[in-house]
Amino acid sequence: MAKRGHDLALDGVRGLAIAAVMLTHGAGVFVPSPANDWLLKWFRYGWMGVDLFFVLSGFLITGILLDTAEAGNRARSFYARRILRIFPIYYLTLFGCMLLISISRSARAGAPLQGWKDYLAYLLYFQNWLPLWHGGNLPGSYLGHFWSLGVEEQFYFVWPCVVWWLRCPSKVVRIAVGGATGMLILRIILMRLFGPGVWYLCLTVTRGDGLLLGAALAGWTKQKKRISPLAVASAFSVGMGFLVWMSLTNDRQLSDITAGRWLGTFGFSAIALLFAAAVASTRIGLLRPIWEAKPLTILGKYSYGLYVYHLPLWFFVSVVFWRWMRIGPPFRTRYAVPYLAFLILADIAVAWLSYRFIESRFLRLKRYFEPSVSDNVLQPYPTGTEVTPVR
């Protein structure tokens, strides 16, 4: 059976996405001041890294689904391989945090899970729907970033059935673009009914644009159609142009993502289009060296662990600092910069250890769940062998 080759450029995309996410969460260790306002503003824009993860995941997953549409064991292969990649460190982290919550007052304060509904939601990957029973809010928590994993897992559950039913890449493109358009329309309707809020940030039906545009890009490439640099530049310009316009008219919308109607409607669509262009640019030879830069590809290789571990790790580090030295964030800039660097390096170390001693052992089991597709059906798909959820 033909093997998919690993694509370093896509590791670079993951690396950029996880760097952006860590910086936006790292902004909280700074005491805001006029001197660092410009820096923190750029850090806070990093929340968009999650959307870049979404586009990349939709691209990779849909390519694999189209490749294996004729496999007799396609469902068993797909879901077993996703479970081996996603579940081990997710549940390791979740159960570890839940244990600490049960015995530690500090852990409970940092992740105030309120009743059995919250626990069950995290266990079943429905944590992104917490606003439905929390008054439209997503409770602040060092488990809060798991909402994006919920979005992706729900996509992984439904989207394979759609792709395997369609089987035709051109139909996948049409359905994906239609679905992304439908999400935009739904956001406009809900925004008029309920106004801005956290709900549109994390619900699968309002935040799946990136996944679907990534899927559309995969369907396009599977038709062996050339990706035009002009088309990529045009999509990038439209997405970036809309974000620049928002930054000039109401900059707060980009740093406080629940602050305005434009971001919650057309803004998410523009971001998805921008990042679809970014992923498409990895297929253009002149731009590949940028994406294959060593710092980005290293971060990209360990991006899933970096994402899963970073907020719980950073929270417990802050607890240790406070108990041992009676100091803790936020800090003035001259102290916040080295403190954030320490947090990021600690996260990299933990993610490396996790990949080396935990994740890689499960990944080796994926060889028992290869799709049973003959060589003349499965074509090499140059998007990488590992599909890292959101990360």
- State pLDDT tens for residues 8-29: 999 999 999 999 999 999 999 9
In a domain, 387, yes or no: no
Are 334 and 36 in contact by the 8 Å Cβ rule? The answer is no
Are 85 and 387 in contact by the 8 Å Cβ rule? The answer is yes
Compute how many other C-beta atoms are within 10 angstroms of the C-beta atom of residue 194.
11
In a domain, 381, yes or no: no
CA quadruple 240, 244, 250, 256: dihedral positive or negative? Answer: positive
pLDDT at residue number 4 = 54
Mean pLDDT of 269-278: 96
Q: For 163-172, 196-205, 304-313, 340-349, which range has the lowest pLDDT when averaged over its residues? A: 196-205
CA torsion, ordered 381, 387, 390, 391, to nearest 10 deg: -110
pLDDT at residue number 222 = 93
In a domain, 375, yes or no: no
pLDDT at residue number 65 = 97
Confidence of residue 31 (pLDDT cuts 50, 70, 90): very high
In a domain, 345, yes or no: yes
pLDDT at residue number 251 = 75
Are 274 and 243 in contact by the 8 Å Cβ rule? The answer is yes
pLDDT at residue number 49 = 96
Q: For 130-134, 168-172, 233-237, which range has the lowest pLDDT when averaged over its residues? A: 130-134
Mean pLDDT of 280-305: 93
* pTM more than 0.85: yes
Confidence of residue 61 (pLDDT cuts 50, 70, 90): very high
Q: Structural domain tally of the chain?
A: 1
In a domain, 261, yes or no: yes
Is pLDDT at 257 greater than 80 in this prediction?
Answer: no
Confidence of residue 391 (pLDDT cuts 50, 70, 90): low
In a domain, 1, yes or no: no
Confidence of residue 209 (pLDDT cuts 50, 70, 90): very high
| pLDDT cut 90: percent of the chain above it | 77
Q: For 257-261, 264-268, 316-320, 382-386, which range has the lowest pLDDT when averaged over its residues? A: 382-386
pLDDT at residue number 390 = 52
Confidence of residue 309 (pLDDT cuts 50, 70, 90): very high
SS3 string of 37-61?
HHHHHHHHHHHHHHHHHHHHHHHHH
Residue 123 tokens read as: 């266990």
Domain that holds residue 262: 8-369
In a domain, 382, yes or no: no
Is pLDDT at 127 greater than 70 in this prediction?
Answer: yes
Query: Which residues lie across from 30 on neighbouring strands?
Result: 331
Is pLDDT at 382 greater than 50 in this prediction?
Answer: no
pLDDT at residue number 389 = 57
Report the chain's terminal Cα–Cα distance, integer Å.
Answer: 27
> What is the average pLDDT value for the chain, to the nearest integer?
91
By the 10 Å C-beta count (0-12 exposed, 13-18 middle, 19+ buried), 47 is classed as: buried
HSE at residue 162, side-chain half, CA atoms within 13 A, is 21
In a domain, 323, yes or no: yes
The residue to which tokens 């990534």 are assigned:
214
Confidence of residue 373 (pLDDT cuts 50, 70, 90): low
Cα 196 to Cα 127, 179, 267: the distances in Å are 20, 22, 13
Cα 15 to Cα 129, 137, 303: the distances in Å are 27, 29, 7
Compute how many other C-beta atoms are within 10 angstroms of the C-beta atom of residue 287.
16
